[in-house]
Chains A and B, each alone.
Chain A
Amino acid sequence: MKQYSGAILLLAVMLVFPLAVQDAYYQHLMILVLLWVAIGSGWNLISGYAGQVLFGAAAFFGVGAYTAALLSHKLGISAWWGLPLGAVITFALALPFGWVCFRLRGPYFALATLALNEIFRHIATIWESLTEGMVGILVMQTFVSKVPYYYIALGIAVASVLTVEIVVRSRWGYYFVSIREDQDAAESLGIDTLRYKSVALCLSSCMIGLAGALYTNYMGFIDPRVVFSLHDVSIAAILVGIIGGVGTVSGPAVGAFIMVAVMEIFRSGGFGFLGKLSSATGSPFVATLTKYISEAHVLSFGLLVIFVILYLPNGVVGDWPILKKKLLFWRRQATV
């Protein structure tokens, strides 16, 4: 029980968060964090545990998002049905994709997922009679308040993390890691590697697809550029996984939090601090600096990743012992 006490405490904090913090802006940020926990967990299962690098998470995210949007737009059914259905449809997409593409290894598989991402983005752009193309699809939001979305996102995030936790302790988890460590050895030990790679991909795609469907419901608008974005979804998913710690259960949660926080600090110029500073001082220098920093929020992320890869190759969670030692060391030096 003790090993879970931290997780339970965190869950309790998350449960009371929207009651304690009424500001819609912070609630919005937390919803984004929770969405990224689900996407990051999905990425982590197939890439961090099974070792098959998913470079096209947006394919599944976008298919989940479009499932929800099209249900409401074409069939007049509530976009909320997109959650269960989005998971089912991404599963149905991942299964044949895995069956064909898991014959490829390493970077070749990663490239195939990238191709899948691009294929779907083009389909969604070109097939205007179905998807409205670049115009995008508008969905009526159900709630004015962010709180219901928050709790649904929390549910999906918790379910994703729990699924990973349960799976990696089971036979499947042993198989996934064996495949990651040495596929030939795994196969010689009687593991049907093609099958279990597919299992991992299907589970992952469900989590990512669910997040996509929730995104549609929450944002109320999607277009191909946003939900099939290579940069803002596929690569961001990899970054969330790497920063938190590849192949650790809580890594994606930590990574999601750090990513959203860093992106937002840059985008908003230190939560508006720099903006206030420039208007207070009236200095044109600070104003330009603010503008550049907020435009460089994408770059910030690249820098963060370089830092993590250089100093914490196993991510914040994977290298926590090292990080803790360093922090303690600093503190001791400070007190001396």
Chain B
Amino acid sequence: MAFFEAKNITKFFGGLAAVNGVNFRVEQGQTYGLIGPNGSGKTTIFNLINGYFPLTTGEIYFGGRKISGLKTYRICQEGIGRTFQVVKPLKRMTVLDNVVASAFLRTRSKREAVRLAEETIAFCGLTAHKDKLAKSLPIASRKRLEITRALATKPKLLLLDETAAGLNPSEVDEAIRLIRKINESGITIIIVEHIMKVIMTISDRILAINHGMVIAEGTPAEVASNHEVVAAYLGEDYDAQS
């Protein structure tokens, strides 16, 4: 039984198939990359996993249990955390309170929740911003807050949606370091990323999609050399570079 498995998942928005018959498996401990051009259905796949949208057809299994059909908050309780591509900070709360709110998922004691939140904030390097209002943070820290908040729910599987988009090169390096550290702490990761440097260096395996359909699956090297992927997504530039 796979740690995580999406079976033939499909999502229609009216007549548009945003995700169309996608299958993939993720093994425990992996960092699994998800790539595709703009509008190819990556975020929609996350929204399907996390129950934000109901599936049109298909099934999703996690830890041997079927999770498709569960409510979003139940899926989080089962151990799947996520970040949002368009960040959703709880604006008029401090960074600490943002994280405490999610840390309450695993404990009813406030002291314990605050302790877990502070620990997670330190792990993600946000301690300096702890008492600032979330709305006052720059984009790099907001992206980091998304990760911190998701981590405080103690997920077994973490879905990261373009957490490095909009960051400058040194911030991107920091983000890579953080994602590695999370993975090393034993959390399985599915990551959507446009920046090739990020996805190619940290993924164990990659799924490439276009128009909601799988075009390639394999190790980073395999996917990068796949003609369809190169044509659809990476473009001539990447081909020339490598």
Contact = CB atoms under 8 A, between A and B. Distances in A.
Q: Tell me whether A and B are bound partners.
A: yes
Interface of A: 169-171, 174-175, 177-178, 181-182, 184-193
B72 A175 contact: no
Contacts of A193: 73
From B76, B90, B113, residue with most partner A Cβ within 10 Å: B90
B92 interface: yes
B137 interface: no
Interface residues of chain A: helix, strand, loop or mixed (majority): helix
B75 to A, nearest CB: 9
Nearest to B88: A185
B101 A174 contact: yes
Interface string B70-107: 01110011000110100011111100010011101100
Contacts of A184: 52, 84, 88
Given A174-B100, A186-B101, A188-B82, 7 more contacts: A175-B104, A177-B97, A181-B92, A185-B84, A189-B149, A190-B77, A192-B73
A192 to B, nearest CB: 5
A178 B101 contact: yes
B50 interface: yes
B73 to A, nearest CB: 5
B154 to A, nearest CB: 10
Contacts of B100: 174
B82 to A, nearest CB: 6
Nearest to A171: B104
Nearest to A314: B92
A178 B110 contact: no
B150 interface: yes
B139 to A, nearest CB: 16
Contacts of B153: 189-190
Given A171-B110, A178-B93, A181-B91, A189 B50 contact: no
A184 B90 CA distance: 10
Given A184-B88, A188-B50, A188-B52, A174 B97 contact: yes
Nearest to A187: B72
A60 B72 CA distance: 31
Contacts of B97: 174, 177
A188 B81 CA distance: 7
9 contacts: A171-B110, A175-B101, A181-B93, A185-B88, A185-B149, A188-B73, A189-B73, A190-B73, A190-B102
Return the 5 tightest CB-CB contacts between A and B, nearest first: A190-B76, A181-B90, A185-B88, A190-B105, A189-B102
Given A170-B110, A188-B82, A177 B73 contact: no
A178 B90 contact: yes
A182 B146 CA distance: 13
Nearest to B100: A174
Contacts of B93: 177-178, 181
Nearest to A184: B88
A189 B110 contact: no
A189 B76 contact: yes
Given A171-B110, A171-B113, A178-B90, A189 B105 contact: yes
A188 B108 contact: no
Nearest to B97: A174
B101 A189 contact: yes
Contacts of A175: 101, 104
